[in-house]
Structure 1
Amino acid sequence: MQPSLLALFAHPDDEVLRCGGTLARYAQLGVRVTLVCLTRGEAGRNMDPALGELNLEQGDLAQLREAELRESCLQLGIDPPIFLGYHDSGRNERLRRDDPLATINADPLEMEAKVLNVVAQVQPQVMLGFDPHGIYGHPDHLVAHRLVAAVFARSGSVGIPVARLYYTVQTHTEMRLLQNGRGLGVLSGLDPETYAVCEATIAARIDISLQAERKRRALSAHRTQTGPLSTLGNLTEMQWQALSSSETFSLGGSRTPIAHYPHSDLFEGLPLTQVQDVRA
């Protein structure tokens, strides 16, 4: 059986910061890596003035961010993304409460059915998604967390019992580093005791040092989010080093025994085709 990994996130660029290296690593190992994205990030902001004025009503930002995600997936070496077609809900004062297609207003069971169809197609042994606090509490991230947990729970009843579910997480130390200096804007003012995890919660730590350049190129593909006006595009070298050496995950669920905790391979112990060592 070919190894298969399914990642589920809310917006273009969610796939890179906390798990882009891991996605690239497993793609290099011969794993089929599939990304499901709930939205096209149409409620975001353009942080690169060089891209010019965008007409949000005509969907310019949505089209641009879709293209950015496709390029990011290409740089990571994974399959083209699957878009579920929901709308970015925005957050804070830009929360789109009246948009019926916003993820916060969508029918949860309808969303589950769409993702379960993808599960049936790609038959993943491992799924990845947001942690219970969505890294920084974005409403769409919380919807995506609930969705990936529900799909994992239901997958056995539809004949594709996914073996393991992992959540992308940041440790207290990592989060504080990203809040230092100019700091990553979305983390501003948030308490690491709530939005990050202690070392004891880390179920897997994946070495991505050989995938660091792929991760950097994938992140740079998201020009609207990493432009000169963004904090994401102005990470210090120390911050980037922390994001490009390893990536951490907590365990959302498992249908198989796990021999080592924490472990260094999301597929460890699963009865699959042998995955060869990563080659540079």
Structure 2
Amino acid sequence: MLQPERQILVVFPHPDDEAFGVSGTLAQYAKAGTPITYACLTLGEMGRNLGNPPFTTREGLPLIRKEELKASCDAIGIKDLRMMGLRDKTVEFEDDEKMVQMMTDLIDELNPSLIITFYPNYAVHPDHEATARAVVRAVRRIPEENRPRLYGVAFANDTLEGLGEPDIVNDIQDVKEAKWNSMHAHISQTGWILQEEAKRKNEGATEDDNWLVIERMYSYRWHEDFEEKF
């Protein structure tokens, strides 16, 4: 059962990050009327998939991914999409203070009760990690009694070893179509995954504990902060 929220801020670096990990949860919140702002830091212009044969050029990919991102937000029910204008695969090289200030400005404007991003040290991609660090650093500067809740998506191979079982395990059966549509919106990058899932279903696989019907996150553990000194 989801906890009621006043305002949710979602921060991910790439179009489709929202689709994989939290689109069902966000669809449930949107269905309940919770305002959601999604700050997507880049347009994923360095995405791996250009098609075979190519369906676009490297120069044309950002326009495609921008429209896919809008379609994903429509599928989820997100009405406030912010495209933050950073460049794909360079987020890790942005000035730390610039990144933290970007997050602080969003938090100050929106006053969210919940922020969703990646979990630092368990997010695999350098852009994911840089995003997670910036969000945590921004929230850390808020007095503890005023901090929003902070949820992190973690999928590194050592996640269970390092963090244990997730404390947020959300059944999204009631909005699984919204999640599928969010994934499908990013078809330039997710086509092969959706094909594999369709094949799996055709072979008789069930959805009981599948990522399409169960979403998992971790509450950020301030007592185990990713930075020992700050």
The alpha carbon displacement at 1:221 in A equals 0.3
Question: TM-score if structure 2 supplies the norm length?
Answer: 0.82
Measured in 2, the distance between the counterparts of 1:163 and 1:22 equals 17
Number of aligned residue pairs: 213
Give the alignment of 1:88-127 within 5 angstroms.
88-89=88-89, 102-127=90-115
Question: TM-score if structure 1 supplies the norm length?
Answer: 0.68
The alpha carbon displacement at 1:144 in A equals 1.2
1:244 aligns to what SS in structure 2?
coil
The alpha carbon displacement at 1:246 in A equals 1.8
Work out whether 1:132 is the aligned partner of 2:117: no
Measured in 1, the distance between the counterparts of 2:177 and 2:150 equals 26
Measured in 2, the distance between the counterparts of 1:150 and 1:239 equals 40
Aligned to 1:37: 40
Q: Which deviations, in whole Å up to 9, do the C-alpha atoms of 1:112-161 show, x marking residues without a partner?
A: 212222212221001111122344x111011111112112112449xx93
Aligned to 1:164: 149
The alpha carbon displacement at 1:108 in A equals 1.4
Q: Which deviations, in whole Å up to 9, do the C-alpha atoms of 1:220-269 show, x marking residues without a partner?
A: 00011023xx3454233348660122211111157xxxxxxxxxxxxxxx
* Unaligned segments of structure 1, at least 5 residues: 90-101, 171-189, 255-280
Name the Cα RMSD after superposition: 2.7
Question: Which residue identity does 1:118 align to in structure 2?
Answer: L
The alpha carbon displacement at 1:47 in A equals 5.1
Measured in 1, the distance between the counterparts of 2:73 and 2:103 equals 19
Structure 1 residues 76, 5: closer, same or farther in 2, change over 3 A? same
Q: Which deviations, in whole Å up to 9, do the C-alpha atoms of 1:154-204 show, x marking residues without a partner?
A: 2449xx93321111135xxxxxxxxxxxxxxxxxxx7x3x14468944221
Measured in 2, the distance between the counterparts of 1:121 and 1:52 equals 39
Question: Which residue identity does 1:15 align to in structure 2?
Answer: E
Structure 1 residues 14, 216: closer, same or farther in 2, change over 3 A? same
Identity among equivalent pairs (%): 28
Q: Which deviations, in whole Å up to 9, do the C-alpha atoms of 1:63-104 show, x marking residues without a partner?
A: 211111111001000124212211111xxxxxxxxxxxx212
Tell me which of 24, 28, 44 is aligned to 1:25: 28
Question: Which residue identity does 1:64 align to in structure 2?
Answer: I
Structure 1 residues 38, 128: closer, same or farther in 2, change over 3 A? same
Question: Which residue identity does 2:125 align to in structure 1?
Answer: H
Check whether the contact 2:5–2:114 (CA below 8 A) recurs between aligned residues.
Answer: no
Question: Which residue identity does 1:36 align to in structure 2?
Answer: A
Aligned to 2:226: none
Measured in 2, the distance between the counterparts of 1:33 and 1:105 equals 28
Tell me which of 184, 190, 195 is aligned to 1:226: 190
Aligned to 1:183: none
Measured in 1, the distance between the counterparts of 2:125 and 2:207 equals 22
- Dislocated runs of 4+, deviation >6 Å: none
Work out whether 1:211 is the aligned partner of 2:207: no
